[in-house]
Amino acid sequence: MRNPLQKAPLRKRAEERLEGLQEAVSRTGVDIEWLVHELRVHQIEIEMQKEEMDEIRTRLETGLERFPESYDSVPIGLVSIKREGVIRAANRAAADLIGIERLRLINRPLGRFVSEPERPALKTFLERIFDGGADEACELRLAGNGGARTAVTVSATVSEDGKECLAILADITELKKKEEALREELQHHRALFENARVAISQVDEGGTFLRANKRFEALTGYTQEELKGMNIREIMHPDGAGQVKEMIAGQVSGEIAPIFLEEYYVCKDGSRKWGEIRSRAIRDGGGGFLSAVVAIVDRTRGKQMEEALADNESLGRSFFENASIAMFHSTLEPNRLLRVNSAYSRLLGYESPEDLMSASAGMDPFPEEAWDRKAFFAAMEQRNWYDGDYPLIRRDGGILIGKAAIRSVFKPDGSIDHLEGIVENITERKRAEEVLQKRDRELQEKTKSLEEVDAALKVLLKNLEKNQEELTERFLINIREQVLPCLVKLKKTPLNQAQRALINSAEAYLDEIASPFVQKLTSSYLNLTKKEVQIAVLVRDGKTSKEIAEIVNVSKSDVDFHRGKLREKLGLKNQKGSLTVLLRTLSHEGPRERP
């Protein structure tokens, strides 16, 4: 028979017994399963300790009278308690647990060495023991002189005469500490599970939900109660339900490691979302399947962005290939074509992009003599884009002048991946510009020639004006020195009144023509008519309107009208005084500025 007092591998035997239990283990995740397992092991350890204590108590009851020396050699605390709760005897182990010398325990109440809050429980325990006579057990905390509180389990059996009982005190302080730590850790992991930002659930071997956290409820729209009893395949898209079933079955059998897949799942409202689904099996100490933890990370937005990006890439590819403007992709250095569209190949005289790429493989498509490479590379280095002339070699060997807009396309690490650009054929425009430039040069030359002719004409005109002034001066001198003297002589001859009047008028006219006053009046600046000049001369000489009317053969009202026009044109309209005086003043000052 095994000695129950021997320190056997209790934990190993407790685990062996736990594996035999059929009761379902609470499933709350990998760590939570382990914590629950630990709690159950400790519980069974306590139960097995109680069994050993019962066996020890039985042996002590039967052999204590014959072997009193064995009482002190027992490693478990033993106390004989009277019906009144007074300690009759105690071994060394009990004294060590209580923290009091053994002799000081005798004939003293056991309750005195129990923490005050638990003394009523001890009293009730002893009453049940002595009244019922059945085996009982309770947990207490002993309070010794050191102040330390030791947790113990107390089991007792009443003696045959009913006057006392034999109590076994088993130290469970460490077990209690471990149990409390495990409970705190269990609560912590449960809180993590419930409040995790990732949707987490547990399913059994068939895929039926056991529980789910708040995030899982929010993600799928199902409540905890609704999920219990549902199968995970019910929330999966039909395309992925079968795959999930096979994977869980593989995890149950151990053939498949933790699952990772991306698939659509269906929410309660019928909406379809894309998720990253991970699953891991929870197993017991023997490797048996307990449950599977299934986590779902919502990737719907990322999936939508991927699809939108794919659509954009498809649209961009279609736009590139079917654009009416020539487009290309190329490397920077060396400058080689990577991809061209149909418009680009037609621009260079090829039937298709494939023909162009095949013909230009390894060839520099740019004519060295017609392209400023330095300007291109300088622009790409400074600005990462280029906008300017882009000469190309056509299939027939001719040079095409293009207008290009090119930019750099970068890799995620910041380096240049390739160049992309568009090209417009401006060969005809360039030729037209060259023709216009040539014509402009010719026009500039003609303009310069005309300017020289103009300068010569100005000199000639100046000479003509000078000659005209000389002729005018000579004409006036002839009037004064030759014509007027003749008229004076003619007046001395016998003349009738009419002839004399005509000669006087002619003399007056010629005299006025030769005078500076008439020259002023005939200035183009004053814009006077011949009639107004004639009347102005007569007014200045003091002739009345009536006399002037007879001389120029017009009505007096016409003379008055011309007087008003003279004031207006000569700037004398707002001046008071006789027009005769004003005209005489003007003959000395020159013409006034017109308003």
Distance CA 209, CA 229 (A): 6
Percent of the chain exceeding pLDDT 90 equals 3
Angle (nearest 5°) at CA 172 between 169 and 176: 150
Domain enclosing residue 553, as ranges: 515-589
Residue 588 has pLDDT above 60, yes or no: no
Distance CA 113, CA 95 (A): 11
Strand order of the β-sheet with 199-203 is 209-212, 199-203, 289-298, 272-283, 259-266
Residues 56 and 150 occupy one common structural domain: yes
Going by C-alpha positions, the residue among 351, 419, 352, 360 that lies closest to residue 393 is: 360
Mean pLDDT of 41-64: 62
C-alpha separations of 484 from 102, 360, 473, 489 in Å = 177, 101, 15, 9
**Confidence band of 120 (pLDDT split at 50, 70, 90):** very high
According to DSSP, the residues that pair with 141 across neighbouring strands are 151
Going by C-alpha positions, the residue among 109, 79, 72, 96 that lies closest to residue 173 is: 96
Q: How far is CA 285 from the centre of its chain?
A: 50
**Torsion over CA: 133, 135, 139, 143 (sign):** positive
User: Residue 522 has what pLDDT?
Assistant: 60
Of 368, 394, 425, the residue at which a domain comes to its end is: 425
Residue 469 located in a structural domain: no
Assign residue 296 a region: left if phi > 0, alpha if psi is -120 to 50, beta otherwise?
beta
User: What is the residue whose two structure tokens read 């736009």?
Assistant: 319
Residue 432 located in a structural domain: no
Instruction: Pick from 32-36, 345-349, 473-477, 577-581 the range whose average pLDDT is largest.
Output: 345-349
First CA to last CA across the chain, in angstroms?
A: 149
User: What is the residue whose two structure tokens read 């006789």?
Assistant: 578
Instruction: Return the CATH number at 45.
Output: 3.30.450.20
Tens of pLDDT along 465-483? 778 767 776 776 777 677 7
Residues 289 and 144 occupy one common structural domain: no
Instruction: Return the CATH number at 519.
Output: 1.10.10.10
Of 127, 154, 180, the residue at which a domain comes to its end is: 180
pLDDT, mean over the chain: 77
pTM above 0.75, yes or no: no
C-alpha separations of 43 from 30, 177, 498 in Å = 20, 13, 167
Distance CA 66, CA 467 (A): 174
Residue 455 located in a structural domain: no
User: Residue 74 has what pLDDT?
Assistant: 76
Q: What is the DSSP letter of 232?
A: G
Mean pLDDT of 378-390: 85
88 vs 579: which has the higher pLDDT = 88
| C-beta of residue 87 within 8 angstroms of C-beta of residue 109 | yes
Residues 162 and 251 occupy one common structural domain: no
Residue 157 located in a structural domain: yes
Residue 149 has pLDDT above 60, yes or no: yes
53 vs 582: which has the higher pLDDT = 582
**Confidence band of 108 (pLDDT split at 50, 70, 90):** very high
Residue 20 located in a structural domain: no
User: Residue 483 has what pLDDT?
Assistant: 77
Residue 29 has pLDDT above 50, yes or no: no
Give the pair of three-digit tokens for residue 488: 């004076």
Residue 318 located in a structural domain: no
Tens of pLDDT along 65-79? 444 455 677 778 899
Residues 330 and 408 occupy one common structural domain: yes
User: Residue 107 has what pLDDT?
Assistant: 92
Domain count, the chain: 4
**Confidence band of 364 (pLDDT split at 50, 70, 90):** low
Tens of pLDDT along 310-362? 777 777 677 788 888 888 888 887 778 888 999 988 888 898 888 888 887 65
Residues 300 and 338 occupy one common structural domain: no
User: Residue 507 has what pLDDT?
Assistant: 72
Mean pLDDT of 117-124: 90
Residue 243 has pLDDT above 80, yes or no: no
Residues 222 and 147 occupy one common structural domain: no
Residues 200 and 284 occupy one common structural domain: yes
**Confidence band of 88 (pLDDT split at 50, 70, 90):** very high
71 vs 94: which has the higher pLDDT = 94
**Confidence band of 578 (pLDDT split at 50, 70, 90):** confident
Mean pLDDT of 388-406: 85
User: Residue 370 has what pLDDT?
Assistant: 58
User: Residue 366 has what pLDDT?
Assistant: 61
Residue 26 has pLDDT above 60, yes or no: no
- In our burial notation (b when 16+ CB lie closer than 10 A, e otherwise), range 156-190 reads bbbeeeeebbbbbbbbbeebbebbeebeeebeebb
User: Residue 520 has what pLDDT?
Assistant: 60
Q: Is 394 helix (H, G, I), strand (E, B) or coil?
A: coil
**Confidence band of 216 (pLDDT split at 50, 70, 90):** confident
Residue 371 located in a structural domain: yes
Residues 6+ apart with CB under 8 A from 354: none
Residue 508 located in a structural domain: no
Beta strand 209-212 with 259-266: parallel, antiparallel or unpaired? unpaired
Q: 333: number of CA atoms within 13 Å, CB side? A: 9
Q: How many CB atoms lie within 10 A of CB 87?
A: 24
| C-beta of residue 284 within 8 angstroms of C-beta of residue 23 | no
Residues 34 and 168 occupy one common structural domain: yes
Of 180, 212, 234, the residue at which a domain comes to its end is: 180
User: Residue 591 has what pLDDT?
Assistant: 41
Residues 169 and 206 occupy one common structural domain: no
Tens of pLDDT along 512-521? 666 665 656 6
User: Residue 580 has what pLDDT?
Assistant: 79
Tens of pLDDT along 367-380? 555 567 788 888 88
User: Residue 3 has what pLDDT?
Assistant: 39
User: Residue 411 has what pLDDT?
Assistant: 87
Residue 558 has pLDDT above 80, yes or no: yes
Residues 274 and 205 occupy one common structural domain: yes
